[in-house]
Amino acid sequence: MSSELHIRTPLIESLALSQKLGKEVSLKMENMQPTGSFKIRGIGLLCQTGKDQGIRRFVSSSGGNAGYAAAYAGRKLNVPTTVFVPSTNTL
């Protein structure tokens, strides 16, 4: 399998939440992923596995982070990708 499509994101302590709850609260900073969400972890693995098994095109239906992750994975893996966005989706 080639290099990962996601990055290793840090855990940071939320001082405000830790103080409020009386115990340490850490935040996993998935917003630092190349796509801005955790979705690239699962969708990236799915796309990488598919490519390794010979799939030559990706298709996704999503109006949000999942579609963005599929498009990103397709671009990075050099696999043509189509993302269908619902007509009810607004930006």
Tokens 């302590």 locate to 13
Task: Establish how many alpha carbons lie within 13 A of residue 26's alpha carbon, considering only the half-sphere containing its beta carbon.
Answer: 7
Residue 75: alpha-carbon gap to chain centroid: 13
pLDDT tens track for 22-61: 999 999 999 999 999 999 999 999 999 999 999 999 999 9
| pTM score | 0.85
Instruction: Confirm if 79 and 55 have CB atoms less than 8 A apart.
Output: yes
Domain residue spans of the chain: 11-84
11-84: CATH, from 1.10.3720.10, 3.40.50.1100, 3.90.230.10, 3.40.50.1220: 3.40.50.1100
Which of the 8 DSSP states describes residue 31? Answer: G
